Chain A
């Protein structure tokens, strides 16, 4: 049996708890300005979104640009559960994520036969259809959207983010994750090696949709109001920019991209008209000069901490 309490895991866990504790402390002591708190929670939401899109686009090598659609499903379903049906927050988030996953399964099964450009366009079309459905549903307020209480705290946002990232990271490291990577590297070769490519593509797609729905739920229950306009394809593009910037196929890269882009847009909040122009120029320059993003497919890891203990374990055997 593997030893879960190796040095890397302990250091990661300590890091996560420390980060949470410090920020929670600042919030409780009222030192943290509200705008900073907002940005931090936004970062958590975008990290979940970016990592889940990375699972589809970076790890499995498919090309989905309809992520805002899954996020919208999660946001609306969870908002209906918590605000209209007065259910508990946890149930709302879970319902939203499951609904998004089901939608992912439903869309993924037929469309994942397509590849490259065609899949991209199909997912884009799906995202728009979802938005238009909510736009035309009076139950959820149509174009005006509806308001709901803000119940998400830093603890919820950070906790869910950490759990999601760990789950997705472990998925990538597992047998299934490796199968997904083999599809990205060479679909035909993977298939001839006995990898059920359709199955793994659908798994990755559904998982990505699940976490996008979760992020949508967090978004809806934090920002007081949800409107169909929020979930247009510009949002999908923004998430795409994050993972492209960080490095398609690198989980830590996606996280880095989400942090950088959210901070950048918070810094540029005073000049919103420049924000999108800068994003666009950055995207084009990135593709021309460093198409692999900041991290490429490399991961930032704490492996250097584990070397000694692994050696010890090896010599004992």
Chain B
């Protein structure tokens, strides 16, 4: 009996890590964009939806395998992210933050319902891209898909970390996020850097979309709403604007959710996520990894 409970716990941990790695990938995009233009990109979850659909298109219509499909949807969404930024957010860069937030909500609605017009509201099934192999270690089951998902996320996060910390572009990104005007004076083309940030964030969201499609098997035009909000919760939990924070926050949220589901309260899962959000905002708005910033007059 005791061993079966431990098994249960480990099984939920595996599920939680898989789900959490998806949240982490989406949360990274939120956090990067927030760090650089101080905008909550509400449309981010919907970019993920577009990514899931382009992956679906590549796999079922073009008959590509998993990796090319993943790359295809990442490139497509990177372009989409840049276009969204240029058309909708760039004209508002010096407007009030509320105006930018409302625009982001508008873009989100546009992607959701525009997508619905384009591909209809019908739910589509993702083709099985991975073999149904299961590995069992002491009774804890790992699906082949779980492992690929975790690996993909870890590789992408490592790549991101390398880009941000060790390349010229990453250095410029950090400079712009630190002080946009000073970066501009130092000869950094801030417009390009902001576009680049949106491209990377959207590509990560696309990867999360494809993984999500593979994980849950079904996709629909409104699939981005709730995961998008939850990824935002993850970003806030880790400290918004902080890249390692988003990774940890995403994994934590995934774990918490699967624990709540494991306790038999899966219908309350979403409520728990939002409750965490409100608690974090009230107790430590800067998040787990954040530093307190004093308000200056």
Contact = CB atoms under 8 A, between A and B. Distances in A.
Interface of A: 63, 65, 110-111, 113-114, 116-118, 120-122, 124-126, 128-129, 132-133, 135-136, 188, 234, 237, 240, 244, 273-277, 279-284, 287-288, 291
Interface in B261-278: 267-268, 270-271, 274-275, 277-278
B267 A135 contact: yes
A110 B110 contact: no
Contact of A283 (B40, B105, B282): B105
Interface of A is mostly: helix
12 contacts: A110-B282, A113-B282, A114-B281, A116-B98, A118-B236, A121-B236, A129-B274, A273-B117, A287-B95, A287-B100, A288-B88, A288-B103
A219 B24 CA distance: 39
Nearest to A244: B102
Across chains A and B, which 9 residue pairs bring their CB atoms closest together, nearest first? A283-B106, A125-B274, A280-B109, A280-B110, A276-B113, A284-B106, A132-B271, A287-B103, A125-B277
Given A121-B281, A280-B110, A283-B105, 17 more contacts: A63-B98, A114-B281, A118-B281, A121-B236, A122-B282, A125-B274, A273-B113, A276-B112, A277-B109, A277-B114, A280-B106, A281-B110, A283-B102, A284-B88, A287-B100, A287-B103, A291-B92
A283 B109 contact: yes
A125 B92 CA distance: 26
A133 B272 CA distance: 11
Interface residues of B, number: 40
Find the residue from B107, B109, B277 having the highest chain A CB count within 10 A.
B109
A136 B106 contact: no
B91 interface: yes
A65 B40 CA distance: 14
A282 B232 CA distance: 25
A118 B267 CA distance: 26
A122 B275 CA distance: 9
Interface in B70-116: 88, 91-92, 95-103, 105-110, 112-114, 116
Nearest to A279: B109
Contacts of B91: 288
A110 B285 CA distance: 12
B67 interface: no
A46 B120 CA distance: 29
A116 B40 CA distance: 11
A117 B97 contact: yes
Contact of A111 (B106, B113, B232, B278): B278
Contacts of A132: 267-268, 270-271, 274
B153 to A, nearest CB: 24
A128 B229 contact: yes
A281 B109 CA distance: 9
B24 to A, nearest CB: 18
Nearest to A130: B271
Contact of B102 (A128, A240, A275): A240
B297 interface: yes
Contacts of A282: 106
Contacts of A273: 113, 116-117
Given A277-B117, A288-B92, A63 B268 contact: no
Interface string B253-295: 0000000000000011011001101100110010000000000
A265 B279 CA distance: 37
B116 to A, nearest CB: 6
A220 to B, nearest CB: 22
A274 B102 CA distance: 20
Given A63-B98, A122-B277, A291-B99, A114 B113 contact: no
